[in-house]
Structure formats: structure tokens, C-alpha cells
Amino acid sequence: DAGVTQSPTHLIKTRGQQVTLRCSPISGHKSVSWYQQVLGQGPQFIFQYYEKEERGRGNFPDRFSARQFPNYSSELNVNALLLGDSALYLCASRLQGAGEAFFGQGTRLTVV
């Protein structure tokens, strides 16, 4: 059974550009969450989606947005990239809104 898959695995963007990161949850999981992890820190919560609706939002600027599709996959969009957006972006899926989170390997975003 496939785990959580994220694409791409690595990405290099220039300041001011826009980026879209993708996540496919475990089959049957209806909840997807996004996290940003900077070196030396724990994952910082960005969004949670459950049944295609936003159920939680962390303290991130409006440049960050996300959506969940009918097949429960999700995209995270970041506009007007800043150098400080360089980080590992993690996606986690859950069977429901609460419960154990299963993490993907992450997308390493580098903004230059």
C-alpha cells in the first residue's frame, strides 16, 4: 500500500516566483495537512483540509494557500516567494480530522 507521496522532491525557485507543491494521501485518508520545516526546528503547521474544506490554518501569510481535490489529493501554493520560504514542506494524511498523521518525505524548496 502506497504511503503519502509528495512531488516534486526538490525544487529551486527565484525570489518573487510562485510554486505549487503536490501531495497524494494514503488511500482512504480524507484529511491532509501541510507543514513547513526549517532546519533545526520542528514542523510548523500551515493548513489542514478535511473533506475538501479548510479545517485549520497556522500563522502564515496570505501568500500561502492550499486546496484539496475530490480525490483528496492536495496542493500547496506559495506566491511571491521570499528567501525565508526555503524549507522542507511536509504533507501528512490522516484517516479523519484527528488521529495519527502519516507523513510524506517532503519537498525541499530552495529560493534563491
Partner 1 sequence: AQSVSQHNHHVILSEAASLELGCNYSYGGTVNLFWYVQYPGQHLQLLLKYFSGDPLVKGIKGFEAEFIKSKFSFNLRKPSVQWSDTAEYFCAVANAGKSTFGDGTTLTVKP
Size of the site for partner 1 (CB under 8 A): 26
> Binding to partner 1 by residue 105, rule CB under 8 A?
yes
When asked if residue 24 is in the footprint of partner 1 (CB under 8 A), the reply is no
Grid cell digits, residue 11: 525544487
Burial class (CB in 10 A: 0-12, 13-18, 19+), 18: exposed
Nearer to partner 1, 14 or 41 (CB): 41
Distance CA 6, CA 16 (A): 23
Q: Which stretch binds partner 1 (CB under 8 A): 11-19, 42-50, 68-76, 78-86?
A: 42-50
